[in-house]
Amino acid sequence: MDFTGKKALITGSGGGIGKSIALLLADMGADIVVNDVSIENAQQTAKKIISKGRKALVSNANVVHDVQVKKMFESISQNFGRIDILVNNAGITKDSLLMDMKEEQWDQVMDVNLKGVFLCCQYAARMMSEQQYGKIINISSASGQMGNIGQVNYAASKGGVISITKTLAKELARYQINVNAVAPGFIRTPMTQTVPEKVEKYIIGQIPLKRMGEPEEIANAVAFLASDNSAYITGQVLSVNGGMYV
């Protein structure tokens, strides 16, 4: 796969899965917009991309806010002139059992995981439709496919990401924009670092491949969907989960 000359925005690419995606696409030739609310982490990812000989544009836009997302896309337009690939990766968890969950836990997760995807898709689609070319990859989750105790907010948001993906695949196909989702299972990142050892062991026991996934394994799936090798694939959910949900 060769992304030479392509411009890719990966939200939440200051760490975890997003960082792996950014570095892999840069290895394959793409220039990268590194977005993260943590400017320090975004700058660290950007440094690595530049050391690979690629261009990196840093944005600390919070994807929840329309004004900040608009500014990020204006900067992309000025600096890169186009956007070929959007990976909606920024996401958060605020876990709690239903009966204890606070309204703000629900709202915060919906804001980042759903509204953030909506806003980035909207601005990207405006640029991509002009170009008659684009690849949008939304990061969902096995929780959104199968449900998960303590994650009514997160599972609902990630199920919503699948619905956004299917709808935009139909809506944007006329502009030669492919829209797909990747649904990771249980992946070793800062997000899952706080899972207690006992729970981690239990989850791994439920996974047919009997291990956690690595961020690079999600990046490989994203790269395929961002490439022209998947030109006839749109509106699909690619599960990368060790068989956790089949």
Among 2, 5, 38, 201, binds ligand NAD (CB under 6 A): 38
Q: Among 162, 158, 240, 161, which residue's Cα sits nearest to residue 207?
A: 240
DSSP label at residue 212: P
Tokens of residue 152, six digits: 């009514």
The DSSP-derived string for 150-175 is TBHHHHHHHHHHHHHHHHHHHHHGGG
> Least distance from C-beta 164 to ligand NAD, angstroms?
13
Pattern 123-152, ligand NAD, x by CB under 6 A: ----------------x-x-----------
11 is a site residue for ligand NAD (CB under 6 A):
yes
Positive or negative CA dihedral for 120, 125, 130, 133?
A: positive
Number of residues that bind ligand NAD (CB under 6 A): 30
Among 90, 119, 152, 207, binds ligand NAD (CB under 6 A): 90
> Least distance from C-beta 108 to ligand NAD, angstroms?
9
Looking at the Cβ atoms of 15 and 134, the one nearer to ligand NAD is: 15
Looking at the Cβ atoms of 28 and 212, the one nearer to ligand NAD is: 212
Residues 6+ apart with CB under 8 A from 140: 158, 159, 161, 162, 165, 181, 182, 183, 184, 237
Rounded CA-CA distance 177/151 in Å is 31
Q: Helices (DSSP H) in 97-150: which residue ranges?
A: 103-110, 116-131, 142-146
Q: Which of residues 162-221 bind ligand NAD (CB under 6 A)?
A: 184, 186-187, 189-192
Catalytic entry in 154, 175, 232, 245: 154
> Least distance from C-beta 14 to ligand NAD, angstroms?
4
17 is a site residue for ligand NAD (CB under 6 A):
yes
Rounded CA-CA distance 96/104 in Å is 12
91 is a site residue for ligand NAD (CB under 6 A):
yes
Residues in the chain: 246
Clarify whether 154 is annotated catalytic: yes
Active site residues: 154
Question: Which residues form the interface with ligand NAD (CB under 6 A)?
Answer: 11-12, 14-18, 35-38, 41, 62-64, 89-92, 112, 116, 139, 141, 184, 186-187, 189-192
